[in-house]
Amino acid sequence: MLPIYLTYDSGVDEFEIRAIMIALIEFKKLRPRQKVTVHGSKPWSTGDYSSADWYIKSAKRIFREDLGRVQLDADSILTLLENEPWQAQQSHIDLFFTSYDLSLRGINFCFGIARGRNTVQSLYRFRRLCEDDREIAIKTLVWHELGHIFGLASDLSRSNTRDCCGSHCTNEGCAMCQGVSVKEWVMHAREVKKYGMIYCSQCMDDLRRARP
Ligand SMILES: [Zn+2]
Ligand SMILES: [Zn+2]
C-alpha cells in the first residue's frame, strides 16, 4: 500500500491544516493500514523539489485580468509532482495543498484535481466562508480527491456515476458527488456531513477494492 505524503505551501493556515488532518484521521478509519507522512511546508532537502514552496515557485502562473490576480496552473503542479526524483525510490501518493487559486485548461478555476497517484487542491476560495462551512468544505475536498486517487466512482456503467467534469457519484451525501461553485460545494459538504459516512455504499465498494 502506497503511503500518502501530505504537503502544503507556507500560506496554508493553522485552521486549514487542522481540517485536513481531521479529514485524514477520518479517512484512515475506512482504510486503517493507510500510512500518512506529513511533510508540511518546511524544506525537506536543498535545491529543486526541496519544499512545497519550491513547487509553487516553479508552477506556471496565469495572470487573470478579470480577477486582478494570479492563478496557478494545476496541471503544471501535477507534472512537477510526477517528475519528483524520489518517486522512483519511494513510490507514494502526493496530497498537495495550496493557498493560491488554481486554474485548469481554460476552466475559470478548480478546487482540486487528481491525476494518477497525485492530487493538488486549493483552499483559496473557501477562505470567505464561515468557520463551520469552511471546515466541512475542506474535509470534503480531501475525501473527494483521495477518492479519485483510489478510483472511486470511475465506472460510468454504474447507475450512480455520471460524467460531469470527470466521473462522479450521483448520490448526494457521498463525497464523490461534484460541486462546481463555492455555493454548490458547501451544499455538497453539508450533505456529506448529514449523511455521516464520507462515501456511499457503491463508492465504499470501490475503496475496499482499491490497491494503488
Ligand atoms: Zn472530482
Ligand atoms: Zn458515491
Total structural domains within the chain: 1
Ligand nearest the Cα of residue 204 is 2
Q: What is the pLDDT of residue 174?
A: 98
Ligand nearest the Cα of residue 198 is 2
CB-based neighbours (< 5 A) of ligand 1, an ion: 166
Closest by CA to 20, choosing from 148, 123, 116, is 123
Residues 6+ apart with CB under 8 A from 193: 136
| Ligand 2 geometric centre to CA of 59 (Å) | 32
- We report the CATH number of the domain holding residue 168 as 3.40.390.10
| Ligand 2 geometric centre to CA of 137 (Å) | 17
Ligand nearest the Cα of residue 207 is 2
Q: What is the pLDDT of residue 212?
A: 61
Ligand nearest the Cα of residue 202 is 2
Q: Is the pLDDT of residue 185 over 80?
A: yes
The pLDDT mean for the chain works out to 94
Q: Sorting pLDDT into bands at 50, 70 and 90, what band is 143?
A: very high
| Ligand 2 geometric centre to CA of 125 (Å) | 24
Contact 78/113 with Cβ under 8 angstroms? Answer: yes
Segment 26-84, tens digit of pLDDT: 999 999 999 999 999 999 888 999 999 999 999 999 999 999 999 999 999 999 999 99
| Ligand 2 geometric centre to CA of 204 (Å) | 7
Distance (Å) of CA 34 to CA 48, 75, 77, 210 = 28, 26, 24, 11
| Ligand 2 geometric centre to CA of 210 (Å) | 14
How much is the pTM? 0.96
The sign of the dihedral angle between the CA atoms of 50, 120, 85, 35 is: positive
Proportion of the chain above pLDDT 70, given as a percent:
100
| Ligand 1 geometric centre to CA of 141 (Å) | 9
| Ligand 1 geometric centre to CA of 45 (Å) | 32
Note down the domain range covering 88. Answer: 4-209
